[in-house]
Amino acid sequence: MYRFHDAKVDTDLFMQLQDLTTVLSGNPELSFEHNYGSFIDLTNHKITGSRFWDKSKEEIKEAGLRTDVLLRTIGTLHYSNVPSMKSYLENISVLKLPKFSSQLFALLEDIRLEEIVKKERPGTKKWFAIRRQHLKHYFENQLSANVTRGFATDELFCLLYLSIQSDNPDPVFPRANESQIHQLNSLKSLIYSVFDAKATQDIVRIAEKITFHISRDYEDSVNKYFIFPISHIESYTKNTLFDELTRTDELVNQDKEDIDEENSEYFDEEFSTWHRENKNGERKQNFLQFELEQGTKTSMMGGGARETEDADQAMASIQGASGESKEKDYSKMEALDKKEESATDQGNENIFGEENNDAVNIIQHASFPSDEDGQLYQEFVRAIESYKRKLANTIKKTIEHKKNTPRKDLLAGRLSKKLLPIVLEEDHRIFYKKDLESKDFDAAFTLLVDCSASMKDKMEETKRGIVLFHEVLKDLKIPHSIIGFWEDANEVKENYQPNHFHVIHSFSDSLYKNNGPKIMQLEPQEDNRDGFSIRVATKELDSRREKNKFLLVFSDGEPAASGYDQNGIVDTHLAVSEARKKQIDVIGMFLANGEIGEREDETMKNIYGRERVMVPGVGELPAHFAPLLKKLLLKAI
């Protein structure tokens, strides 16, 4: 199973950072993402936190990522001047120091923005203090390493950082070369002027002077410690990124309509749409605001107007849906079809998660089992017979116990020997009943089986657990579905990610006598897009009438599919949370090839929380599966 940069994803922290990004930027479309550095990318609607923090202690990691988001959302978004930054990149492009110059600007601008953020949000000072202390320690180590390796430019960069962040006005660096110290001293006046910088233009001036000063004597940096804070900056035209977010484009059509301002009124409420062809007469006119880029301009001004570049209101040109009229007899059935189609389109928007916009679910049903499948299935049944028998007996005894246990403290029934409640209580609950009928299992199960390629050496034993699942539920007449899922990596194209759902048993045929051998058709295939698959299964389970609904996901690790490696864990965690909000119990079943590592357990914890079963070896699957199934069945009685 592929692991993105071999890094764990803390889903709780990730969601905090996503919420922080959305709230502080004021834009719900901006998403948070881990990357090699911290920057804003409005083209792809994201703000990133640096993976530099991943290997730090938890407190440092949280503070580092939070301050990354703060610097970008409060700082860069509102207080960095885009034209100045573009000008800087153009000016230093003629030099041979692209790495050094870009990260020098990033460092100096972040120092300026940090003070702005702390002033606006005093509660963030503790996070920035942790950030600064950790970075100082890091650059001290980097300084020693660069001196040893002879990386002169990297050594100078470390000296610049440590000088700026030092508590001592004249810090000493005994490990640095004398020539580097001499160079540092010649730059000190520029370095300390950073604290007087009021705007991006001031930072640009300082960074340019430092870069031009050393350009004759130094080659470019080897390492990259910071990244330029704005991605795709060449495509932006406004002064700040906040202006870019709120930019209003010119209208496509330039036709205008003359109106009588004296007889016009503005109403802050909803009205039906009208067309450009509607003529204005002596009647009073109502104006309806729409966020469109095409329409008819009017001269009306005021709070209800959509503000364009030349401050005119846009009166919308909107094509309405056809409906019944006196002139034409539209079919009622046609109108109903249109309504249902519209509702379906709106309902499907992002119901499978933003990471799965291009995912397509392809349903394929299991074929009639072969004789070979039947023979192998019977072997599996015999292998799990002891587990099945013990489990079935436990469940039946529990049902019998519930059946024979009398109901006490009732208002009607047989008179109890304990009559004290007549004196002590207003409602005389002194009766009992013994003939309580046995409860049926009000439950439905779905078992999702990861059919990715990494399951190749686990699939046979996995089938044993699934056979146990099927046999017990079939005997207890509990409807269930068994579905294998995978994404066809060979067929993935732009805007098309085919996800196959191999329906072994559906709810409608799961209780048939001779359907068990179909389980043998589960085979390892390609990739696995777990979040999408869980949402597809959740949608079907949610439509069931049973009170208790259970979704078990068999997998051997992290999700891995096209464009899904980085955000797969978070998306799957969200899918699990969404299912649980719909009162569906979701349990993750992890299948290992031996000892379970801390990393695997942490990954499953991030996705499924406490509701996970870690199976060291697939041979032990029935032994782990039986007590879990018992627990779930007893809950459903």
Distance between CA atoms of 176 and 431, rounded to whole angstroms?
91
Average pLDDT estimate for 217-233 = 93
Q: Is the pLDDT of residue 156 over 80?
A: yes
The model's pLDDT over 172-215, given as tens digits with 9 standing for 90+, comes to 898 888 899 999 999 988 988 999 999 999 999 999 999 999 98
Do 456 and 562 touch, CB atoms closer than 8 A? no
Distance between CA atoms of 292 and 294, rounded to whole angstroms?
6
The model's pLDDT over 39-68, given as tens digits with 9 standing for 90+, comes to 999 988 899 999 999 888 999 999 999 999
Quote the DSSP letter at residue 440. Answer: P
Q: Is the pLDDT of residue 349 over 70?
A: no
Q: Report the pLDDT value the prediction gives residue 262, as an integer from 0 to 100.
A: 52
Distance between CA atoms of 82 and 200, rounded to whole angstroms?
9
Q: Which residue has the higher pLDDT, 532 or 569?
A: 532
Q: Report the pLDDT value the prediction gives residue 318, as an integer from 0 to 100.
A: 30
Which residues does 352 contact at the CB level (< 8 Å), separation at least 6? 359, 531, 532, 535, 536
Look at residue 167 and give its three-state secondary structure: coil
Identify the CA nearest to 441 among candidates 478, 411, 468, 409. 478
| Strand boundaries in 122-205, DSSP class E | none
Q: Report the pLDDT value the prediction gives residue 419, as an integer from 0 to 100.
A: 56
Do 190 and 210 touch, CB atoms closer than 8 A? yes
Do 408 and 432 touch, CB atoms closer than 8 A? yes
Q: Is the pLDDT of residue 271 over 50?
A: no
Q: What type of residue is 78?
A: H
Q: What type of residue is 336?
A: L
Could you give the domains of the chain? 4-241 (no CATH), 371-399+439-636 (3.40.50.410), 401-433 (no CATH)
3-state secondary structure 187-240: HHHHHHHHHHCCCHHHHHHHHHHHHHHHCCCCCCCCCCCCCCCECCHHHCCCCC
Quote the DSSP letter at residue 526. Answer: S
The model's pLDDT over 565-609, given as tens digits with 9 standing for 90+, comes to 768 888 999 999 999 999 999 999 887 777 777 877 888 888 888
Length of the chain: 637
The pTM assigned to this predicted structure is 0.56
Which residues does 14 contact at the CB level (< 8 Å), separation at least 6? 32, 570
